[in-house]
Structure 1
Amino acid sequence: MSDIKLIALGGVRENGKNFYIAEINQAIFILDAGLKYPENEQLGVDVVVPNFDYLIENKDRVQGVFLTHGHADSIGALPYLLQEVKVPVFGSELTIELAKLVVKGLDKTKKFDNFHIVDSETEIEFSDATVSFFKTTHSIPESLGIVLKTNKGNIVYTGDFKFDQAADKLYETDLGRLAEIGREGVLALLSDSANADSTVQVASESEVGVEIDNVIADAQGRVIVAAVASNLVRIQQIFTSAALHGRRVVLTGHDVENIVRTAIRLKKLKIDNEKLIIKPKDMERFEDHELIILETGRMGEPINGLSKMAIGRHRYVQIKDGDLVYIITTPNVAKEAVVARVENLIYKAGGSVKLITDTLRVSGHANGRDLQLLINLLKPRYLFPIQGEYRQLAAHAELAQEIGMFPENIYIVKRGDIMVYDEKEGFLHQGGVPAADVMIDGNVMGDVGNIVLRDRKVLSEDGIFIVALTVNKRQKKIISKAKVHTRGFVYVKKSRDILRESAEIVNTSVEAYLAGDQFDWSELKSLIRDEVSKYLFDQTKRRPAILPVVMEVR
């Protein structure tokens, strides 16, 4: 008899950060190790990963990390996990090569080399479960779903997927294998929900390819294409169209160049002529109508790169009259306002903008009808909607009920929930594990928390106010009276009275404190902070970050 637990460390009630744990008896299987990009209020944060405390405490039980595909929301957290939990990593050939690029990008994990290539024919036997894989359709080749075979039934994790009957061979779903898994008996299905709130049929990739080709064919000048670096189906469509219309493709970023070169080497991207791709420095050798500039931005975020091009701060490209900016990615809801501002900047610079979403509905994720088809093929006893905001998880649950699943067999979990299988009652919630966001700033993990973010927010909104003075603790007197400095708070030339009065308040408060019997550096700084904060709020109705600097002379 198997004891089965399912835990989501990420990927539920949020977009990205796919990270799921299946425990079979004492064995832990990690399904994907993804990150997400920060929200607008997470100032200065580069990426966000899950909390790994539970896995660190139980690292001896971890059998491996099993990856579905090579996007950052599935492989991006690997280097941070492998710093603490050094376990084997399994994935398709392309997924593993992209995972290696990510892992070698961090000093602490660049020597890690415990990678294993699998495919849809692979079965890996562990003492507590057998792991196998099935082909799925996504926007990157060799995407796989994962099956954990237990004596209670199969646990199926889809990863990101959709159905596309016109998909290229590198991207096609194995429907026969899905039906076979369903016949074996599926205990629990962990299924992508990112597009569950739509039943609109998305365009097939063949339709998207035709649309992209038409836009490039009609363009008179340079075409600047904004895409996600790891969306290889889009990049393939760009290369195909470029070759057809006699254009060269310029790769503007280090990330996309690594990904493209890797995919070409593995024959997952097809180009007939190596000269199709040129360096940014070689653009001047070609006429505008001979160029396609592929902008994917840092860490695959192209919109910020377009903004730099529009205002003349991009390393290689400045938008000019006649340029067409073609956005072939689908920005998330949080980016809509940013996209609108960038469009405005592009038109000011003389370019024009076209979004692929103006004419087609595109997505790499299954819509509502696709999700129902998957459920009908697999016939799971229990469903866990994952990978999506709460509204999308709820929509997925409703879709499942429409085709006969009982609501009590569908679980919309929170991050960290421990769901334990009971043969009579299904999955029961039994406590939780740490699952808060861990923010990465630079190459350091975990030193940015709510307090740091709060301080950054204050600095961004109200600036900083620095007070410096020198005291003699033994003589109990001020040696050098308070001087104030400010940045981002008030315009100094027009606010000299406020600054002078602030300094006087500090001097008076410190003299009164030094006259007392007790002396504590923290207490003195806190007093300065409180008095200055009170005065500045009275005068300006603003609360800058106040930094007291008190030096001692002996």
Structure 2
Amino acid sequence: MIPLGGCGEVGMNMTVYRHREEMVLVDVGLMFPDEEMLGVDVVLADISFLREQGRELQAIFLTHGHEDHIGALVYLLRDLPKVPIYGTAMTLGLVKAKLRELGLLQAAELRQVEPRDRVVAGRFEVEYLQVTHSILGGCSLAITCPAGTVIHTGDFKIDPHPVDGRLFDTERFRAYGDQGVLALCSDSTNAENPGRTLSEREVGKALDEAFGEAGGLIVVATFASHIQRVQQIVEVADAHHRKVVVMGRSMERNVEIALELGLLHIPQGMRVMPARMGEYHRERLVVITTGSQGEPLSALSRLAVGDHRYLSIEPGDTVILSSKAIPGNERSVSRVINHLLRRGARVVHGKVSEIHVSGHAAQEELAEMYRLVRPRYFIPVHGELRHLVAHRDLILSLGHPAKDIAVVEDGAVVELSPRGLRLGDEVAHGRTFVDGKGVGEVGDVVLRDRRLLAEDGTLVIVVGIDHATGEVVQGPDIISRGFVYEDESQELLEEIKQVVVDLLPTLDKEILAERALVAVRIRNKVRRYLDRKMGRRPMVLPMVLE
């Protein structure tokens, strides 16, 4: 078992299972950048290992359709061998939409499966097991090869009352436990949370209460992939005699996919197109939209600042944020809430109402999964190190031997056999940054430079010198961007010029003959001066002319 992503961070889930000279890949996820990854759109796992061993790959198995499990496929598909890609109807529906948008659909061999279907891929046999999660079509995988069976849970919780009626398949998990499971690789996202995660049906009750208190227009923002949540909004809207409007590009796309697959049901005549909202009284409408994370170009953000072409927020309207802010998005979400409040809206969100529940198992459910499967070895996956350790501690408290638990991070090689568990040599791993259409063109050095520019700005020094004497024949001219305002800092800029003028005559003729070396000396001298005088280190870019 080789995690290339998802062990040590939340997101970027990608795991290799290998037996002799054959392997299968589970999930191809991405991760969204943190605030220090300036200009980066998404983060992918480094797949150097897969490129080197590509001939061994038999198939790709997708557990569900969230971006952190399928999102990297469109970026990495060309770098992977063409093998079958398996997933449930909703998962492949989301994948197809992404591939079609980029003209890559013909490059992928997609094969649809249902829960309890078994797929043979080389020496591996993989069975899809129904679980409950915050997206339709989520499954765990029972991966069997001659060495034994591994249960890879994917993301899950154990919801006794799922909106789509598809129950967690306790029977099959228990059956595998009875047969004997070599290892359990289990979702650790909520391993620090005691108790059980609330059922998705609890959100329906909170929505019904919020709708009952609303007088004007109702806007509900949630994740575009959360079709069960959309179904509940539709049902509650119908009960309150309101029509629904689906708004936002990704929301509209996912709703159309779910409707086409028969996984979402909207009564005939209940849906109103955005362009026709003006034909209805506001108090008879519910808008289902994206933007619950404060994304600046989302429909909700545009509504919040009065920049939407079809709709505006008025005093007395109700806006419901039916989601939890992803770490790093708190400021953006807070900003949108404040804008909405200024417009007189009533805002309902997770801190004041049970308007969102997690899709991940808390400690009691994680323990239940462990007791069903009864594995010989346990490996916590899908989470930061703190989540993996919390999950390990939970399993230790259930009596599992410490020697049969492996807490590992990306790149680890966990060798599993009936004879024992051991860690092998790490494989190549890391992160690949996507900036616009460039995949892997931005590295750590570029990010460091971007952070430097963002924090301290840049200072361009243009100077012409006589390389024989070191005499300044032009400039120095100073251009400041993001460092100081030039009109108000002439004294400082003159001091910097004088530092350069004083430096040049002290340089040897050999150095003066090389513009690159002169530039290095100017940069170092000016940076030391500014650091000593101001405690700041802008990016200094000398341009030396002859």
1:28-61 Cα distance to aligned partner (Å, 9 max, x none): 1111111111112222211111110000111111
In the aligned structure 2, how far is the partner of 1:322 from the partner of 1:510? Answer: 69
* Superposed displacement of residue 81, structure 1: 2.2
In the aligned structure 1, how far is the partner of 2:106 from the partner of 2:515? Answer: 46
Counterpart of 2:73, as a letter, is L
Counterpart of 1:103, as a letter, is L
* Superposed displacement of residue 531, structure 1: 2.4
Partner of 1:503: 497
Q: Is 1:33–2:28 an aligned residue pair?
A: yes
Partner of 2:99: 103
Q: How does 1:220-239 map to 2 (within 5 A)?
A: 220-239=215-234
Match of 1:331 among 304, 320, 325: 325
Q: Is 1:364–2:385 an aligned residue pair?
A: no
The percent of aligned pairs where both chains have the same amino acid is 33
* Superposed displacement of residue 7, structure 1: 0.8
1:133/1:433 CA distance change after superposition, 3 Å: same
* Superposed displacement of residue 352, structure 1: 2.7
1:210/1:303 CA distance change after superposition, 3 Å: farther
Q: Is 1:493–2:487 an aligned residue pair?
A: yes
Match of 2:86 among 87, 90, 101: 90
1:123-181 Cα distance to aligned partner (Å, 9 max, x none): 22233121111111111112111111123321111111111111144542122121222
CA contact (8 A) 1:142 1:171 kept: no
1:259-307 Cα distance to aligned partner (Å, 9 max, x none): 111111111111112651422x43333333233333324xx84454445
1:316/1:75 CA distance change after superposition, 3 Å: farther
1:465-522 Cα distance to aligned partner (Å, 9 max, x none): 1222445668976553222221221122210112233234334444655855652232
Partner of 1:443: 437
Structure 1 unaligned runs (5+)?
1-5
In the aligned structure 1, how far is the partner of 2:286 from the partner of 2:407? Answer: 44
**Normalised by the size of structure 1, how large is the TM-score?**
0.91
1:526/1:312 CA distance change after superposition, 3 Å: farther
In the aligned structure 1, how far is the partner of 2:533 from the partner of 2:372? Answer: 68
Q: How does 1:441-520 map to 2 (within 5 A)?
A: 441-470=435-464, 478-510=472-504, 513=507, 515-516=509-510, 519-520=513-514
RMSD between superposed Cα atoms in Å? 2.5
Counterpart of 1:489, as a letter, is F
Q: How does 1:332-411 map to 2 (within 5 A)?
A: 332-356=326-350, 358-360=352-354, 362-411=357-406
* Superposed displacement of residue 185, structure 1: 1.5
Q: SS in structure 2 opposite 1:500?
A: helix
In the aligned structure 1, how far is the partner of 2:208 from the partner of 2:239? Answer: 9
Match of 1:193 among 188, 209, 230: 188
1:323/1:545 CA distance change after superposition, 3 Å: farther
Counterpart of 1:180, as a letter, is A
CA contact (8 A) 1:329 1:356 kept: yes
* Superposed displacement of residue 324, structure 1: 2.1
Q: Which moved more, 1:93-102 or 1:508-517?
A: 508-517
Q: Which moved more, 1:350-359 or 1:472-481?
A: 472-481
Structure 2 unaligned runs (5+)?
none
* Superposed displacement of residue 249, structure 1: 3.4
CA contact (8 A) 2:116 2:130 kept: no
CA contact (8 A) 1:78 1:102 kept: no
Match of 2:265 among 266, 270, 278: 270
Partner of 1:531: 525
Q: SS in structure 1 opposite 2:182?
A: strand
1:309/1:461 CA distance change after superposition, 3 Å: farther
* Superposed displacement of residue 192, structure 1: 0.8
Q: SS in structure 2 opposite 1:388?
A: coil
Match of 2:150 among 151, 155, 158: 155
Aligned length: 542
In the aligned structure 1, how far is the partner of 2:38 from the partner of 2:432? Answer: 14
In the aligned structure 2, how far is the partner of 1:146 from the partner of 1:295? Answer: 32
In the aligned structure 1, how far is the partner of 2:503 from the partner of 2:101? Answer: 51
CA contact (8 A) 2:467 2:512 kept: no
Match of 1:12 among 7, 14, 17: 7
In the aligned structure 2, how far is the partner of 1:534 from the partner of 1:313? Answer: 47
Partner of 1:211: 206
1:499/1:430 CA distance change after superposition, 3 Å: same
